[in-house]
Amino acid sequence: MTDRRSERSWEKALRTAAMLSTGGALSGCDVLKLTVVNHAGPIAAAQWHLYVVVGIVLVFVAGPVLLLTPIMAWRYRLSNEHSTYKPKWDFSWWIEGLIWIPPTGIVIGLAFLLWTYTHRLDPYRPIASTQPTVEVQAVGLDWKWLFIYPDHHVAVINQLAIPVGRPIHLSLTSGTVMQSLMVPRLGGQIYAMAGMRTELNLAASQPGVFRGENTQYNGPGFPQQKFDVVALPAPDYDRWLARVRAAAHPLDTAAYAALFQRSVPAHPIYYSRTPDGFFGYIMSRFRSSPTENER
């Protein structure tokens, strides 16, 4: 699925139309660049595809009500003396069939679509690719995200650099209350909970900077808890890793203690070295009793 799905022409047209029309006059159409309409990875692309399909089906569901309601009300208004009046008419098998069967059929159809796509876009499902997967561990903190790259023993706060085209496998947990990670242009989202591990698979199909965020309210610093996902071509990604490693700022005891203090870092923070099994350690903080923890 990392091979970019060739977008059908009508979808492309719709995408352009959506970008142009909505709120164009208000100069608010910039906002659409942040949405899934402007998807930048295979998961978000598939989600947008599904949006379009479901949206088209739903036009046929909502349309009749939007048309019939005003038509019936106006046609049969009291002052219209040319309309029939049948006060005792209250049932027709034909109409019963019409209002029960087609909607049921549509829901059955949508149910198949839902089942298929829920499995295909399951956040836990690895993205099939010929390229090796990048492992990243994300820890939700107050009010920042820590991204650990276990294979490289480095970690970064509030910046998630990823190589373009390679699948990313995120493991998530929380060092505090529940949080939720989403990157609208790449896909999302999944909760991060203390003592538990959740997973999210993403990929970027083009280089760029995409906004990521926590969507679950967790205190006064919540609105600032945003981070950039930086999708880089492979050589740049390697250079970025080298830069993090060169930061000469290991995640030592002092840095560790600072992580769990409530704060909104002004800039991303690079940690050149992380202990082995750090993610597991943060998870286990909550598993044991406080006395065991102190040992």
Partner 1 sequence: MSASVWPAVLGRFEWHALPFVRAWENPTLNELIGAGAAAIVVVGAIALIALITLLGKWRYLWREWLTSLDHKRIGIMYVVLAFVMLSRALVEAMLMRLQQATAINAPGVVDPEHFAQLFSTHGSIMIFFMAMPFLTGAFNYVMPLQIGARDVAFPLLNSISLWLTGGAAGLMMISLVVGTFSTGGWSGYPPYTELAFSPGVGPDYWIWAVTLGSIASTLSGLNFAVTIYKKRCPGMTLMRMPLFVWTTLCTSILMIFAMPPLTVATALLALDRYLGFHFFTNDLGGNMMNYANLFWLFGHPEVYVLILPAFGVYSEVVSTFSSKELYGYTSLVLATMAIAVLSFTVWVHHFFAMGQSANINAVFGIATMTIGVPTGVKIYDWIWTMFRGQVRFTVPMLYSLAFMMTFVLGGFTGIILAFPPLDYLVHNTLFLVAHFHNMLIPGLLYGMLAGYHYWFPKAFGFRLDEKWGRVSFGCWVIGFYLAFMPLYVLGAAGMARRTQEVFEPSFRPWLYVAGVGALILFGALASLFVQLWVSIRDREANRVTAGDPWDGRGLEWSTSAPPPDYNFALLPQVRGRDPFYDGKRDGDPYAPPPEYHPIELPRNSMTGPVLGIVGTALAFGLVWHMWWLAILGTVMIVATIIARSFARDVHRTIPVHEIERTEAHWLAAVAAARAIPRQLEMTPLNQGLAAVTR
Q: Which residues of 271-295 are buried (b: 16+ CB within 10 A; e: fewer)?
A: bbbbeeebbeebbeeeeeeeeeeee
Q: How many residues bind partner 1 (CB under 8 A)?
A: 102
What is the spatial order of strands in the sheet that 154-157 belongs to? Answer: 198-202, 168-174, 134-141, 144-149, 154-157, 269-271
The pair of structure tokens assigned to 67 is 């048309």
Q: How far is Cα 271 from Cα 263, in angstroms, rounded to an integer?
A: 17
* Closest approach of partner 1 to the CB of residue 13, in Å: 19
Residues 125-154 that bind partner 1 (CB under 8 A): 125
Q: Using the rule CB under 8 A, which residue among 114, 128, 242, 258 binds partner 1? A: 114
Contact pattern from residue 17 through residue 56 relative to partner 1, giving x for each residue in contact according to CB under 8 A and a dash for the rest: -----xx--xxx-xxxxxxxx------x-xx--xx--xx-
Q: Does 290 bind partner 1 (CB under 8 A)?
A: yes
Residues 56-75 that bind partner 1 (CB under 8 A): 58, 61-62, 65-66, 68-70, 72-73
Q: Does 257 bind partner 1 (CB under 8 A)?
A: no
* Closest approach of partner 1 to the CB of residue 79, in Å: 8
Q: Does 219 bind partner 1 (CB under 8 A)?
A: yes
Q: Which residues make Cβ contacts (< 8 Å) with residue 242, sequence separation at least 6?
A: none
Residue 225 DSSP code: -
CA nearest 203: which of 49, 46, 8?
A: 46
30 vs 252, beta carbon nearer partner 1: 30
* Closest approach of partner 1 to the CB of residue 90, in Å: 4
174 vs 237, beta carbon nearer partner 1: 174
Q: Does 275 bind partner 1 (CB under 8 A)?
A: no
Residues 187-216 that bind partner 1 (CB under 8 A): 187-191, 193-196, 198-199, 211, 213-216
Judged by CB under 8 A, the stretch of 161-169, 228-236, 248-256, 287-295 that binds partner 1 is 287-295
Q: Does 110 bind partner 1 (CB under 8 A)?
A: yes
Contact 229, 215 (CB under 8 A): no
Q: How far is Cα 40 from Cα 164, in angstroms, rounded to an integer?
A: 10
Q: Does 251 bind partner 1 (CB under 8 A)?
A: no
Contact pattern from residue 69 through residue 108 relative to partner 1, giving x for each residue in contact according to CB under 8 A and a dash for the rest: xx-xx--xxxx---xxxxxxxxx---xx-xxx--xx--x-
Q: Is the dihedral of CA 74, 75, 76, 80 positive or negative?
A: positive
CA nearest 214: which of 186, 184, 185, 194?
A: 184
* Closest approach of partner 1 to the CB of residue 136, in Å: 17
Q: How far is Cα 249 from Cα 227, in angstroms, rounded to an integer?
A: 20
